[in-house]
Amino acid sequence: MSLLAVERIRAGYSEEVDILQGVSLQVEQGQIVAIIGPNGAGKSTLLKAIFGILRPKEGRVVFDGEDITGLPPETVVRKGMSYVPQVRNVFPSLTVQENLEMGAFIRRDGFFERIEEIYRMFPDLREKRHQKVGRLSGGQRQMVAMGRALMLDPKLLLLDEPSAGLAPAMVEMVFEKIREINRRGVAVLIVEQNAKEALKFSDHGYVLAMGRNALDGPGQELLRNEEVAKLYLGG
Amino acid sequence: MLELFVYGIVLGSIIALGAIGLTLVYGILRFANFAHGELMTAGAYVALFFVGTLLPRLGIPNDPLSPFSFGWRMVVAFPLAMAAVAAVAVLLDRVLYRKLRQKGSTAVMMAMSALGASLILRMIVLILWGGDYRSFFPGVLRPAVELPLGIKVRPDQILILAVATVLVVLLHLFLHHTKIGKAMRATADNMELARISGIRTERIIVWTWVIGGCLAAAGGVLYGIDVQIHPGMGWNFLLPLFAAAILGGIGKVYGALIGGLVIGVLQQLSTAWLLPTYKPAVAFIGMIVILLLRPQGIFGGKD
């Protein structure tokens, strides 16, 4: 049984227009799965529909054997899934440590051990833990955003464009962290503009176009696929 | 002059209690609660009900706790008034504001409905207690004591300042050292991310109204201890409350505190030259002048 199964989801921001027109995908236990595709294909919308920020009009989302279709985000997070939005993904007026505390809001125990693990994974954050996140650099904010989502030991982490707007050196660091998180047993579903890089470390990739599944396959295979290369990987 | 400054600080601390609640609600809901002044009025009248009607029947004595003008009745009535107004604020949100929020009403519709709610609350007070000026303890002598530098103040006023300070310190501890308090600040920062983190934001909203209601009631009761109460008092406070909250950078708790003190002092100092009737105008002119110099408010801008 898949950890996450999305079945023919239709969703959109208005009554009339459906951004997603019947998208399906699966994430297996411990996998990294990438969603790629052109702007406007509905990649971010898909993550929102999975996490309950957007209510699907049709289709099902099954997580860990449970139907979570249409549950609100504050309930979905309690099932063991975390989500890092692309923008506005930190609490700017709270300190680094407070941001991590909010990530652990629903956690009952093991808070101090977990925050130590997060600081070990992102050593920069330990130094800045009493600073307001609004004053940090873009890369550091992205670390706070990921650290917040990881405070729960999720089974599945949803990442929306984690490398967007970062300097090349930071992009490399973020990707390395994603691999590290995955090595610790967290499945990752990632939306990425930087498709080539993302596919390199993904077990499976889905290409979305116009709100539909265009193509899918193992990451390495998609990298070699001529059609994908021409359309989405920049030749 | 120095004396007026001290009176201004006392008035300012009362304004600040209202303005902090106003700014907290705005920070979470992005909603200007024009009924906030009436929560102050409600607090004052609930306290009047306890000290003037209910507690005397229960046989609680009225002897003032020297050197203050009030006794045990007020000590009991004060927290009860806070609790009652917190309940009123939560109820108002449940039956009115929350329904409008869920329908996705515009800011203007929300503001107008708040204006309507303020009228209803004021009329209820008017029906129940009439339109006269009332004192919590009519006929009690309220002698002033003289502080250094020849400043004459009543012990009541010193107590008002002390109570306001304690409440603000408690609020600070709540916001920075409790899980709910931190979740409240997180929700004000980014409500969607708060929900993504598992914070049940509807509960945070209830907490916000409880705190806003408690502080408004406290402000109203303290004002009644300082002077007299009447059904229009909250309405008269509305302009200074907004001036204080905007001056401090709307949504900022400490901004509202400083804003309240600035507005209170400006209002009292103005009485050296102007009729007290002009006080609300002074609050607004003060606000406009400071905003011309610092458009984002004293504490506004980036975090």
Q: Are A151 and A103 a contacting pair, CB within 8 Å? A: yes
Q: Token pair for residue B56?
A: 């005397």
In angstroms, how far is the first alpha carbon of chain A from the final one?
Answer: 36
Using CA atoms, how far residue A183 sits from A33, A186, A188, B41, B70, in Å, is: 14, 7, 10, 60, 68
Using CA atoms, how far residue A137 sits from A118, A129, A171, B217, in Å, is: 18, 14, 13, 42
What is the pLDDT averaged over residues A144-162? Answer: 96
User: B103: alpha, beta or left, given left = phi > 0 and alpha = psi -120 to 50?
Assistant: alpha
Q: Is the pLDDT of residue B303 over 50?
A: no
Q: Is the pLDDT of residue A233 over 90?
A: no
Chain A residue closest in CA terms to B180: A105
What is the pLDDT averaged over residues A96-109? Answer: 95
- What is the reported pLDDT for A193? 86
What are the residue ranges of helices labelled H in A56-167? 73-76, 96-103, 111-121, 123-127, 138-150
Residues linked to residue A82 through DSSP beta bridges, in sequence order = A157
- What is the reported pLDDT for B251? 87
Residue B233 lies in a domain: yes
Q: Token pair for residue B128?
A: 């129940």
Categorize the per-residue pLDDT at B144 as very low, low, confident or very high, splitting at 50, 70 and 90: confident
- What is the reported pLDDT for A67? 97
B191 touches chain A (CB under 8 A): no
What is the pLDDT averaged over residues B20-31? Answer: 94
Residue in A72, A92, A103 closest to B197 by CB: A103
> What are the tens digits of pLDDT across the range A154-206?
999 999 999 988 999 899 999 999 999 999 999 999 999 888 889 999 999 99
Q: Is the pLDDT of residue A235 over 70?
A: no
B198 contacts in chain A (CB < 8 Å): 74, 77-78, 105-106, 152
- What is the reported pLDDT for B301? 58
Side-chain half-sphere of B51: how many Cα atoms within 13 Å? 29
Lowest mean pLDDT: which of A168-172, A194-198, B128-132, B150-154? B150-154
What kind and span of H or E run contains B205?
A: helix B201-226
- This prediction's pTM: 0.92
Q: Token pair for residue B241?
A: 């409350």
What is the pLDDT averaged over residues B117-143? Answer: 90
What is the pLDDT averaged over residues B235-263? Answer: 92
A91 contacts in chain B (CB < 8 Å): 185-186, 189-190, 193-194
For chain B, what's the residue count?
303
Instruction: Please give, rounded to a whole number of angstroms, the shortest distance from the CA of B187 to a CA of chain A.
Output: 9
Q: Which of B220, B223, B259 is nearest to B88 (CA)?
A: B220
What is the pLDDT averaged over residues B276-300? Answer: 83
- What is the reported pLDDT for B2? 85
Amino acid at B50: F
- What is the reported pLDDT for A176? 94
Domain count, chain B: 1
Q: Is the pLDDT of residue A61 over 60?
A: yes
Using CA atoms, how far residue A170 sits from A131, A142, B16, in Å, is: 20, 10, 45
B186 contacts in chain A (CB < 8 Å): 91, 94, 98, 102
Q: Are A31 and A189 a contacting pair, CB within 8 Å? A: no
Angle, alpha carbons A159-A163-A167 (nearest 5°): 160
Residue in B183, B192, B303 closest to A102 by CB: B183
Lowest mean pLDDT: which of A120-129, B56-65, B122-131? B56-65
Residue B28 lies in a domain: yes
Q: What CATH number has the domain bearing residue B250?
A: 1.10.3470
- E strand map for chain A: 4-11, 20-27, 32-36, 58-63, 66-67, 81-84, 156-160, 187-191, 204-209, 212-218
User: B48: alpha, beta or left, given left = phi > 0 and alpha = psi -120 to 50?
Assistant: alpha
CB contact under 8 A, A88 and B190: yes
Question: How far apart, in whole angstroms, are the C-alpha atoms of residue A221 and residue B271?
Answer: 81
What is the pLDDT averaged over residues A22-42? Answer: 93
Categorize the per-residue pLDDT at B302 as very low, low, confident or very high, splitting at 50, 70 and 90: very low
Q: Is the pLDDT of residue A15 over 70?
A: yes
- What is the reported pLDDT for B65? 81
What is the pLDDT averaged over residues B239-255? Answer: 91
Question: How far apart, in whole angstroms, are the C-alpha atoms of residue B7 and residue B14?
Answer: 11
Residue B302 lies in a domain: no
What is the pLDDT averaged over residues A200-229? Answer: 90
Residue in B194, B196, B200 closest to A83 by CB: B196
Range of the domain at B251: 2-293
Question: How far apart, in whole angstroms, are the C-alpha atoms of residue A24 and residue A47?
Answer: 12
- Other CB atoms closer than 10 Å to residue B226's CB: what's the count? 18
Using CA atoms, how far residue B258 sits from A79, B247, B261, B268, B297, in Å, is: 44, 8, 5, 15, 11
Question: How far apart, in whole angstroms, are the C-alpha atoms of residue A19 and residue A55?
Answer: 12
How do the domains of chain A map onto residue ranges?
1-80+156-162+187-235
What is the pLDDT averaged over residues B270-291? Answer: 87
Q: Are B239 and B32 a contacting pair, CB within 8 Å? A: no
Task: Say whether domain A1-80+156-162+187-235 belongs to CATH 3.40.50.300.
Answer: yes
- What is the reported pLDDT for B173? 97
Residues linked to residue A173 through DSSP beta bridges, in sequence order = none
Report ipTM (2 d.p.).
0.94
- What is the reported pLDDT for B57? 85
Q: Token pair for residue B165?
A: 């300070």
- What is the reported pLDDT for B300? 65
**DSSP classification of residue B59:** T
Q: Token pair for residue A99?
A: 């941001």
What kind and span of H or E run contains B151?
A: strand B151-153
Q: Is the pLDDT of residue B271 over 50?
A: yes
Mean pLDDT score of chain B: 91
Residue of B143 and B288 predicted with greater confidence? B288
- What is the reported pLDDT for A226? 84
What is the pLDDT averaged over residues A226-232? Answer: 79
Mean pLDDT score of chain A: 93
Q: Is the pLDDT of residue B121 over 80?
A: yes
Question: How far apart, in whole angstroms, are the C-alpha atoms of residue A135 and residue B303?
Answer: 7
Side-chain half-sphere of B289: how many Cα atoms within 13 Å? 9
Q: Which of A208, A151, A167 is nearest to A20 (CA)?
A: A208
> What are the tens digits of pLDDT across the range A76-102?
999 999 999 999 999 999 999 999 999
